[in-house]
Each structure stands twice: as C-alpha cells, then as structure tokens.
C-alpha cells in the first residue's frame, strides 16, 4: 500500500469564524503598526531607489569594517555605508562586504576616478581586496523607479479587483482586494520594522505574492459560489465555514510546499536573493492567513447574492432551513 502524506484530514469541521473579531483585530493592529513603522522609521531603500554606487568587495583575509570606513573618510562622499555579508556557503577564505557610497554630484554616483581612489584606499588597508561588482544609479532614475514600482503594485491590485468582480460578485472582489492590501502593508511593514533592504527585487516579490494570494482566494471563492447555489437556505457564515473546510487541504498543501522550496532558497540561495525570498516566504504566510480570515470576513459583512442557480434537489441539506454542518461538531 502506497504511503500518502496528509497534512489535513479528509473531513474537517473547524469553525473559522469563532474568533472572527480577534483575528480581524490582530490584523488591524498589525496593519496600523506596519503603517506607523513605514512612516516614522522609513524603508531601507536599496541602490535602486536611493541612487548612488554600491561596491561588492571580496577578500581572502578577514577585515575590520571600521578600518574600511576610516580609509574612506575625508574623500568628500556624502554618505558611506559598509556592511559585511555573511553566508553559510562562504568558505573560511571568502570575506564579502557591501560598500554603498553617495556623493554630492548631480549624478549621485561615483566617477571612475573616484572609484579608482576608493579601490586604492581599501587596498592600503587590505591588499587582498577585490571589487567583484559595481552598481550605480542616479537620483532621477531612482525616483522614476519608485513611481514605477508604486504604479505596478497599484495596477496589479486594480486588475485583480476587476477580474474577480467580473468572475464573481463585487462583494467578493472587495474582500479579495482588502486581503491583498493587507498582505502588501504587512510585508512592507516588516521590511520597515527590521530595516531589511527594500529594492526592485522586493517589488517583484510583492507582485508574486499578490498572484499567489489571489490564486488561493479565487479557488476558495469558486467553491463558495458552488456551495451558495447548493445550500440556498443555509446561513452564509455556515456556507463559508463549509467552503473553507472543503478547500483546507488544498490551501495547506499549496502553502507548505511553496514554503519548503522558499526556505531552501533562503538558507542556501545566498545573500543576493535573500531579500526576495524572505518577502516571498512572508507573503505566503500572510497570504494564506488573509485568504481564510480577512477576505471571508469582508464578504460576510457585505453579504452576497444567493440566487445564482437552482439548488440540488437530491441534497437533503438544501431542503432544511438554516441547517448548519457545524451543529454538534467539536472545535478542531
């Protein structure tokens, strides 16, 4: 007999709306904290959004960040930020640093002559240092990238709103968009709170998270529409509970398998993709949560049509008034 892994039983009777106000309250508090953290702490913009020059250095010998910084003092740069990069895949003879330099020049980047001076200054401290990569972005380009990133996220959200509105009902579209906004704000809030680098790869992760979340939401909404047609006399809250329970196995399996792949990338992928992978991993978590709790709560408050089609005459539950599949069921 073949072994089949089951993360969720075939039949579940979990009352997801039992703690509805608690879950919504926690989400509202988390959104407020995320907004406050973004406004007052700000985002740690990467080179894409701030402008300047980022130099990735490597050395076969250990180095002191203080010595690097002291070597660059007095060179006329408006901002110098040096961070050492740690990665489990690095060997004992591989020491990596990220040197970000801002200038007072209109271009916002370091000139080739200044770059040579920086390399010479660092070689005096560490003769084994080499420049692996150099990235430069001007302030005008960075401002344009910020505007484009905001437009991209907004356009994706509006497109999802229109799609769900045409496919289902406007109440379901509003519920899905509220859940998506919830996911985006919490992800941005985490990056602001912990000052993780926020760059174009993070925007890509946000857009990917929107796609993952709305895919999960559409699957549940599709089953909800079928159940609303089948159980016309059942209370809406019970139909929604039944729907989430019927799709719970698919929801959990999708989230877990995606999280396993992302965790492997987070641990073994290196620092280059770490920000992107973390945003994706966090997005999978909050996206699954918002699909089950946030989107459904909004639809429950707004109400939804119940006349989408004839009920199934063979289903005894459809002939009973206000029957609940959770009557006598224990909390799981």
* Side-by-side strand order, sheet with 79-85: 79-85, 95-102, 52-59, 130-137
**Do 107 and 197 share a domain, yes or no?**
no
Give the domain range for residue 87. Answer: 52-136
Distance of alpha carbon 16 from alpha carbon 22, whole angstroms: 11
* 330 within some domain: no
Confidence (pLDDT) at 34: 93
119 and 180 housed in the same domain: no
Q: Does residue 327 surpass a pLDDT of 50?
A: no
**Residue where a domain stops, chosen among 117, 136, 155:** 136
**Do residues 114 and 239 both lie within one domain?**
no
Give the mean pLDDT of 185-194: 91
Dist CA 57 CA 101 (whole Å)? 13
Give per-residue pLDDT as tens, 256-283. Answer: 888 999 998 888 876 667 888 898 999 8
Most confident of 129-138, 268-277, 279-288: 279-288
Residue 93's CATH number: 3.30.70.120
Q: Is residue 97 part of a domain?
A: yes
pLDDT digits (tens, 9 = 90+) for 225-253: 888 888 877 888 888 888 888 888 888 88
Q: Indicate the residue among 98, 115, 136 that finishes a domain.
A: 136
Query: Is 2 inside a domain boundary?
Result: no
Average the pLDDT over 188-210 and give the result.
86
Our CA angle for 285, 286, 289, nearest 5°, is 90
**For residues 105 and 257, what is the distance between their CA atoms, to the nearest angstrom?**
48
Q: Based on the domain organization, do 102 and 25 belong to the same domain?
A: no
pLDDT at 322: 44
Read off the pLDDT of each residue in 44-57 and give the average, rounded to a whole number. 77
**What's the chain's average pLDDT?**
79
Whether 126 and 148 map to the same domain: the answer is: no
């Amino acid at each position: 007999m073949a072994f089949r892994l089951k993360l969720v039983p075939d039949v579940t009777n979990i009352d997801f709306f039992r703690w509805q106000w608690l879950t919504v309250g926690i989400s509202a508090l988390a959104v407020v904290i995320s907004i406050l953290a973004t406004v007052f702490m700000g985002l740690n913009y990467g080179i894409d959004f701030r402008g300047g020059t980022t130099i990735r250095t490597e050395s076969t010998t250990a180095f002191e960040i203080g010595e690097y910084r002291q070597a660059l003092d007095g060179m006329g740069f408006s901002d110098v930020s040096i961070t050492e990069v740690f990665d489990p895949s690095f060997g004992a003879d591989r020491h990596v640093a990220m040197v970000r330099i801002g200038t007072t020049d209109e271009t916002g980047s370091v000139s080739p002559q200044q770059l040579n001076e920086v390399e010479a200054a660092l070689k005096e401290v560490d003769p084994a240092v080499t420049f692996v990569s150099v990235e430069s972005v001007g302030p005008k380009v960075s401002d344009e990238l910020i505007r484009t990133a905001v437009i991209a996220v907004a356009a994706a959200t509006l497109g999802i709103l229109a799609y769900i509105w045409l496919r289902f009902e406007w109440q379901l579209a509003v519920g899905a968009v509220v859940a998506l906004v919830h996911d985006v704000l919490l992800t941005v809030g985490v990056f602001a709170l912990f000052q993780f680098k926020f760059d174009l790869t993070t925007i890509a992760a946000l857009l990917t998270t929107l796609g993952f979340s709305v895919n999960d939401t559409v699957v549940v909404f599709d089953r909800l529409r079928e159940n609303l047609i089948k159980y016309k006399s059942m209370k809406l809250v019970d139909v929604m509970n039944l729907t989430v329970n019927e799709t719970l196995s698919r929801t959990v399996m999708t989230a877990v398998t995606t999280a396993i792949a992302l965790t492997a990338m987070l641990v073994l992928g290196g620092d280059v993709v770490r920000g992107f992978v973390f945003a994706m991993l966090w997005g999978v978590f909050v996206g699954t949560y918002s699909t089950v709790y946030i989107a459904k709560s909004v639809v429950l408050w707004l109400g939804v049509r119940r006349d989408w089609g004839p009920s199934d005459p063979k289903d005894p539950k459809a002939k009973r008034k206000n029957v609940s599949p959770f009557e006598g069921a224990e909390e799981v």
